[in-house]
Structure 1
C-alpha cells in the first residue's frame, strides 16, 4: 500500500511535461511547433528579401518555392515511411516540417548576418 501511495504521489506531483500524453495531444503540439517555425520563417524571409536587389529577390522566390515543395514532400515521405496509416503520421509529418523549417530559418539568418 505504501508503494502504491508513493507511486500515486509521484504521478500527481510530476510536471505536466513528464506525464503521458495522448497521440492527439502530441500531434497538436507538433502542429503548433511547425506553426511557430513557419511564422519565424516568413518573418526572416521578409527581412532577407528587403536586403536584396531585384534579381536576387526573384532567385530567392524561386528557391523558396522549390524548398517549400521539397520540405512538404520530404515530410510526407518520412511520415509515410515511419507511420503509414497510423495515428502518429501527423506527429512525424509535422515534426519533420518543423525541423526542416528551423534549419531553413537558420540558413536565411546567415544571409542577414552576411549583409551587415
Structure 2
C-alpha cells in the first residue's frame, strides 16, 4: 500500500514528453500557418471586392497593395530586430506575417458585416 502513493507521485512529477521540433520544422510550420492565413485573406478580399462599386474597388486595391507592402516590411524589420542572421529569422518573419494577415482578415470581414 505504501508503494501506491510513491508511484502516483512519480507519475505526477514525470515530465510530459512533447515531440521535439527542429528549427527547420518550426520555420516550416510558421510558413504553413502564414500560407493558410494568406489564402483566407485572398478569399475574404475577393468577397469584399464583389460587393463594391468601381471607385471603391480601386480604392481597396490601392489600400491592399499598400497594406501588403507594409506587412512584409514590418515583418522583415521585426524579424531582423529579433533574429538578424539567425536560424530563427524565418520563424519570426513568417509568424509576424501570419499574425498581421489574420488581423487584416478580421478587418476585411468587418466590411462584409457592414454591407449586410
TM-score bucket (shorter structure): 0.7 to 0.9
Q: 1:37 maps to what in 2?
A: 37
What 5-or-longer segments of structure 2 have no aligned partner? 1-9
Which protein shows a greater Rg?
A: 2
Give me the whole-angstrom Cα distance separating, in 2, the residues matched to 1:68 and 1:78: 15
TM-score, with structure 2 as normaliser: 0.86
Q: Could you say what secondary structure the match of 1:32 adopts?
A: helix
- Report the alpha carbon displacement of residue 20 of structure 1 after superposing the two structures with TM: 2.4
Q: 1:72 maps to what in 2?
A: 72
The aligned length equals 105
What 5-or-longer segments of structure 1 have no aligned partner? 1-5
TM-score, with structure 1 as normaliser: 0.86
Give me the whole-angstrom Cα distance separating, in 1, the residues matched to 2:69 and 2:42: 15
Give me the whole-angstrom Cα distance separating, in 2, the residues matched to 1:49 and 1:107: 14
Give me the whole-angstrom Cα distance separating, in 2, the residues matched to 1:77 and 1:21: 26
- Report the alpha carbon displacement of residue 19 of structure 1 after superposing the two structures with TM: 2.3
Q: 2:3 maps to what in 1?
A: none
CA RMSD of aligned residues (A): 1.6
Q: 1:47 maps to what in 2?
A: 47
